[in-house]
Amino acid sequence: MPIVSVTAPERESRYDIHIGHGLLSRCAPLFHACRGRRAVIVTDTAVAPLYAHTLSGQLEAAGAQVSTAVLPAGETTKSPEHLSRLYDMFLDAGLTRSDSVFALGGGVIGDLAGYAACTYLRGVHFVQVPTTLLAQVDSSVGGKVAVNHVRGKNLLGAFYQPELVLIDCDTLATLDDRQFGAGLGEVIKYGCIADRALFEQLESLGSRASLLPALDGIIARCCEIKARYVREDPHDHGIRMQLNFGHTLAHALENALGYGTLLHGEAVCIGMGAAAGWGEALGVTPLGTRERIKRLLDAYGLPTQVPQGLSPEALASTMALDKKASGHAVNVVLLTEIGACTSLPIESGRLARML
């Protein structure tokens, strides 16, 4: 069972990411992080029927009194309204500062439950149990937690590291093709920004069917890359911003289309192609890089084109609200080659002209 350790400087501690098969049914010994008498499992209507009973049983075997908070599935759940509802559920469960919150689900549940755990009673213990590929390779690792605002994605957020991440690869068997593909988008992102060998491995595998036997190792590699960024830049002030390759346009697309129309990973795929094109236009990215990324995305059946009918000016205006914006410019991550990148401030009007 691969174990990836993450250094969490702000908590002066390390936590482990456990990766394997069948972990949900034999994870009770790992729950030393489940302090106190009570645990609340936060999940959604899609995941609860599949895995909530198993996780609850393991927590009870570890000595916890368990409650389960089931929220609607989908990106629209990551909202201040559902956050308030979750606080009520914590209060009803009698959750205290010595107790724990378990996020069982994809990135929406992880972000929402993490933000609730961070802010409820100024912080309770938090464990991530991601069940989607995107959450396993990206959002469950590194301590970014947030809810969306009507004017932008993740505008209300914090840094709050989990005490444990439990990745059961068997949960991927219940993902539909779109959810699995959304996770592949983030996997490809890691190859683009930090690991040429991973990118070339994905090129050589060439299809989802060929990818599956290698998936455990690919998940572990992505977690290692994410852990390195977190260690070097825990609060996203410098090099960790590279993880946002493709996200500047992606967040604007999600907002413009309405949260949930595009899955986050699908939007990132479109954003990566656009960012590679921006880099080529600015002389930062070698010519042909955008086409190479597009071929890889096409091979895995992932989207590459901005949906029709969206105004470039409106998208640029939304990008200007990005958390990494400064003044009239947006700090955009651009590739210097496959496996390496930099960031460059670009005026939002210029971004609109390049869309």
Q: 338-347: per-residue pLDDT in tens? A: 999 999 998 8
Angstrom distance (rounded) from CA 33 to CA 127: 8
Digit-coded pLDDT (tens) for 14-55: 889 999 999 999 999 888 656 668 999 999 999 999 999 999
Nearest CA among 163, 174, 101 for reference residue 133? 174
Amino acid at 261: T
CA angle in degrees (0–180, nearest 5) for 318-160-37: 135
* Res 318 pLDDT > 90: no
Confidence of residue 351 (pLDDT cuts 50, 70, 90): confident
Confidence of residue 137 (pLDDT cuts 50, 70, 90): very high
β-strands 325-326, 13-20 pairing:
unpaired
Q: What pLDDT is stored for residue 342 in this prediction? A: 96
Mean per-residue pLDDT over the chain, rounded: 92
Residues with Cβ within 8 Å of residue 321, at least 6 apart in sequence: 151, 152, 155
Residue 186 near residue 265, CB atoms below 8 Å: yes
* Res 323 pLDDT > 70: no
Q: What pLDDT is stored for residue 156 in this prediction? A: 93
Residue 23 near residue 167, CB atoms below 8 Å: yes
**DSSP code at position 176:** -
Residue 15 near residue 163, CB atoms below 8 Å: yes
β-strands 165-168, 13-20 pairing:
parallel
Q: Across 6-15, 291-300, 346-355, which has the greatest mean pLDDT?
A: 291-300
Nearest CA among 104, 182, 116, 183 for reference residue 145? 116
Angstrom distance (rounded) from CA 287 to CA 293: 12
* Res 85 pLDDT > 70: yes
Q: What SS3 class is residue 263?
A: coil
Angstrom distance (rounded) from CA 254 to CA 28: 38
Tokens at residue 182, please?
Answer: 């959304």
* Res 326 pLDDT > 70: no
Helix-helix angle 196-205:215-232, to 10 degrees: 160
CA 152 to chain centre: 16
Over the range 228-267, which residues count as b (16 or more CB within 10 Å of their CB) and which as e? ebbbebbebeeebbbbbbbbbbbbbbbbbeebeebbbbbb
Above pLDDT 70, what percent of the chain? 95
pTM to 2 decimal places: 0.91
Sign of the Cα torsion 117, 121, 123, 127 reads negative
